Amino acid sequence: MTTVSLKIPDEWVSRLDAVARARQTSRSALFREALEEKLQEVALKTSPSLYERSADLCGSGESGLGDLASNSKHLDGFGS
Protein backbone atom coordinates (compact mmCIF):
# COMPACT_ATOMS: atom_id res chain seq x y z
CA MET A 1 0.00 0.00 0.00
CA THR A 2 1.27 3.47 -0.86
CA THR A 3 1.53 6.20 1.75
CA VAL A 4 0.03 9.60 0.87
CA SER A 5 0.37 12.71 3.01
CA LEU A 6 -2.17 15.51 3.06
CA LYS A 7 -2.90 18.62 5.04
CA ILE A 8 -6.32 19.03 6.63
CA PRO A 9 -7.81 21.78 8.80
CA ASP A 10 -7.15 21.37 12.54
CA GLU A 11 -10.86 21.16 13.34
CA TRP A 12 -11.17 18.09 11.10
CA VAL A 13 -8.59 16.23 13.19
CA SER A 14 -10.72 16.27 16.34
CA ARG A 15 -13.81 15.26 14.36
CA LEU A 16 -11.85 12.54 12.62
CA ASP A 17 -10.48 11.19 15.90
CA ALA A 18 -13.96 11.19 17.47
CA VAL A 19 -15.42 9.17 14.60
CA ALA A 20 -12.44 6.81 14.59
CA ARG A 21 -12.87 6.15 18.33
CA ALA A 22 -16.61 5.61 17.94
CA ARG A 23 -16.05 3.12 15.11
CA GLN A 24 -12.99 1.61 16.77
CA THR A 25 -10.92 2.14 13.67
CA SER A 26 -8.00 4.26 12.51
CA ARG A 27 -7.78 7.63 10.80
CA SER A 28 -6.32 5.92 7.76
CA ALA A 29 -9.23 3.50 7.52
CA LEU A 30 -11.71 6.39 7.66
CA PHE A 31 -9.85 8.29 4.96
CA ARG A 32 -9.75 5.20 2.73
CA GLU A 33 -13.48 4.64 3.23
CA ALA A 34 -14.35 8.27 2.50
CA LEU A 35 -12.10 8.39 -0.54
CA GLU A 36 -13.52 5.16 -1.93
CA GLU A 37 -17.09 6.48 -1.53
CA LYS A 38 -16.17 9.73 -3.29
CA LEU A 39 -14.36 7.94 -6.12
CA GLN A 40 -17.38 5.70 -6.70
CA GLU A 41 -19.69 8.73 -6.69
CA VAL A 42 -17.53 10.55 -9.23
CA ALA A 43 -17.26 7.44 -11.40
CA LEU A 44 -21.04 7.09 -11.48
CA LYS A 45 -21.45 10.73 -12.51
CA THR A 46 -18.82 10.55 -15.21
CA SER A 47 -19.51 7.10 -16.62
CA PRO A 48 -21.38 7.17 -19.92
CA SER A 49 -25.02 6.14 -19.98
CA LEU A 50 -26.16 3.01 -21.78
CA TYR A 51 -27.37 5.21 -24.63
CA GLU A 52 -24.02 6.97 -24.87
CA ARG A 53 -22.18 3.64 -24.90
CA SER A 54 -24.44 2.24 -27.62
CA ALA A 55 -25.26 5.39 -29.61
CA ASP A 56 -23.45 4.05 -32.66
CA LEU A 57 -25.88 1.11 -32.66
CA CYS A 58 -29.08 3.15 -32.22
CA GLY A 59 -30.99 3.35 -35.44
CA SER A 60 -28.69 0.92 -37.21
CA GLY A 61 -31.46 -1.63 -37.73
CA GLU A 62 -33.89 0.11 -40.04
CA SER A 63 -37.25 -1.66 -40.48
CA GLY A 64 -38.55 0.77 -43.05
CA LEU A 65 -41.66 1.28 -40.93
CA GLY A 66 -41.87 4.78 -39.50
CA ASP A 67 -44.55 3.94 -36.93
CA LEU A 68 -43.15 0.62 -35.70
CA ALA A 69 -43.17 1.61 -32.03
CA SER A 70 -46.59 3.25 -32.00
CA ASN A 71 -48.75 1.17 -34.35
CA SER A 72 -50.06 -2.00 -32.69
CA LYS A 73 -50.78 -3.69 -36.03
CA HIS A 74 -47.05 -4.39 -36.31
CA LEU A 75 -47.34 -6.57 -33.18
CA ASP A 76 -49.93 -8.96 -34.69
CA GLY A 77 -48.68 -12.50 -34.29
CA PHE A 78 -46.10 -11.70 -31.61
CA GLY A 79 -46.52 -13.40 -28.23
CA SER A 80 -49.42 -15.60 -29.28
**pLDDT one-digit tens code per residue, 11-66:** 999 999 999 999 999 999 999 999 999 998 888 777 788 888 887 777 666 666 66
Q: Note whether 74 and 68 are within 8 A (CB).
A: yes
- The per-residue pLDDT for 64 is 67
Q: Model-level pTM greater than 0.75?
A: no
Asked if 24 and 13 count as a contact pair (C-beta separation under 8 A), the reply is no
Q: What is the mean pLDDT of residues 65-74?
A: 72
CA distances from 12 to 7, 24, 31 (A): 10, 18, 12
22 three-class SS: helix
Query: Any idea what DSSP says for residue 61?
Result: S
Domain ranges of the chain: 11-45
**Cα-based torsion angle of the residue sequence 30, 34, 35, 41 in order, rounded to the nearest 10 degrees:** 160
